[in-house]
Amino acid sequence: MNSYKFKLYDIILSLAEAIDLISPELNSHHQRVAYLSYRIAEQIGMPIKERREILLQGLLHDIGALSPDERISLLDEESEHMNRHAFRGAKLLSQCPPLAPLSDGIRYHHIPWNNGLGREYDGQPVPLASNILHLADRVSVYLHFSQNILPEISEMISKFHGDQKFSPILVKALDGLAKKEYIWLEMSDSEPLTFLPESAVILTDLDIDGVLSIAKIFSYVIDYRSRFTATHSAGVAHIAEMLASFAGMSGEECKMMLVAGYLHDLGKLAVKNAILEKPGKLNVREFSVIRGHTFYTYRLLNKIHGFSAINQWASFHHERLNGEGYPFHLKGEQIPLGSRIMTIADIFNAITEHRPYRKGMEKQDIINVFKELTEKGELCTHVVDILLDNLDLFIKLCYETQRKASEEYKSFFLPDDKDYVNAV
């Protein structure tokens, strides 16, 4: 059996870019905050190990801001409710062993310094990393990256002097950075992290189980932004995994299929909720926006070394054997078995699971849908046969996965997250 190794940094970098797709106004925000946090940490002499960690924290710091409205509100002045996305983000990361060490720094990244009172919050110590992320985040929000930011720097930093929300030692570090034009020019780039030395990058390898735990929490980021999709990725992932196992894939390949299922709609982060949640039929324009989502899934996963198979299985789920799919218009043999499985898992889950606005299809209707699509030459008959020969089992799995995913959804949100809690 092949055993794959993956780079933690690759995965985080690509997923950070995915989170930024939710709101183009915050383009490259995660990379910029990661970059400046690293530079501040360097300026105050933090050891390299901690600098590497802060870089990852910067890349994921707003992971808990799930809805587009909440993401836009991150550009506003800070208020008490800002902590909600930080606490949620920490909760998300704490459920994932490879990312759990990052959660404390992220939990407190909006706690004000308040002349040192902010060293603690609710009886818990606030790490220095949180103070750094906080300052880097606010600097990043104040600057106008669409233009040359050098003329803005000294005025921007003067605003932070005397502001009790930030530690004076860190603001002083900004003074040190202010003199170095390259810092701000690098930060303005759409990929600022490419300018950091190789030593800044954490070299941790992950096995497939580590990747799986990250993919699972990312399925929450993809699904939880809209109550209509709250259980979709988990459903597709588990159905695809069972199809893969019945089709004779190895244990490790089945786990890769789960990863691909969790991430298959990653590119939907680029699609506005108004389209995702539209109750009626989409018009031509809206549907053409949807047709882009797997292109973005492909582009994001393509940056992860060793992800080639997972990427194809995830990103080709709207391709059709007769070439009538989208967006790559692949045909027949160009579409690997794993992608054919994902397509069928996606369709099956979409028509079978219950949605807030409609019940799932009955057994005979499901059979009819697959017969029709197979006759049109769209789907792989081999995989459709596996599904239909074991249909009761797959329907049971679909309901069971949806029930579990729905419980996870409800238990994930904090008591004051009313908009989310009542959703499914």
Closest residue to Fe ion using C-beta atoms: 137
Q: What minimum distance in Å lies between the beta carbon of 3 and Fe ion?
A: 29
Closer by beta carbon to Fe ion, 6 or else 307: 307
Q: What minimum distance in Å lies between the beta carbon of 78 and Fe ion?
A: 9
Closer by beta carbon to Fe ion, 6 or else 113: 113
The pairing of strands 120-121 and 6-7 is unpaired
Asked if 262 and 234 touch (Cβ cutoff 8 Å), the reply is yes
Q: What minimum distance in Å lies between the beta carbon of 83 and Fe ion?
A: 9
Q: What minimum distance in Å lies between the beta carbon of 346 and Fe ion?
A: 6
Q: Estimate the crossing angle of helix 128-142 against helix 48-60, to 10 degrees.
A: 50
Q: Estimate the crossing angle of helix 381-389 against helix 232-246, to 10 degrees.
A: 100
Beta bridge partners of 234: none
Asked if 412 and 84 touch (Cβ cutoff 8 Å), the reply is no
Closer by beta carbon to Fe ion, 34 or else 171: 34
Sign of CA dihedral 119, 122, 125, 131: negative
Q: What minimum distance in Å lies between the beta carbon of 74 and Fe ion?
A: 5
Closer by beta carbon to Fe ion, 72 or else 391: 72
Closer by beta carbon to Fe ion, 62 or else 378: 62
Closer by beta carbon to Fe ion, 62 or else 186: 62
Residue 262: both structure tokens together: 């969790």
Q: What minimum distance in Å lies between the beta carbon of 294 and Fe ion?
A: 6
Q: What minimum distance in Å lies between the beta carbon of 266 and Fe ion?
A: 10
CA-to-CA separations, 204 to 13, 31, 41, 99, 211, in angstroms, rounded: 13, 19, 20, 11, 12
Q: Estimate the crossing angle of helix 208-223 against helix 391-412, to 10 degrees.
A: 70
Closer by beta carbon to Fe ion, 53 or else 210: 53
Half-sphere exposure (CA, 13 Å, Cβ side) for 258? 20
**What 3-state DSSP class applies to 125?**
strand
What stretch of H or E contains 120?
strand 120-121
Rounded to the nearest 5°, which phi and psi values hold at 129?
-55, -35
> Which residues contact Fe ion by CB under 5 A?
62, 137, 265
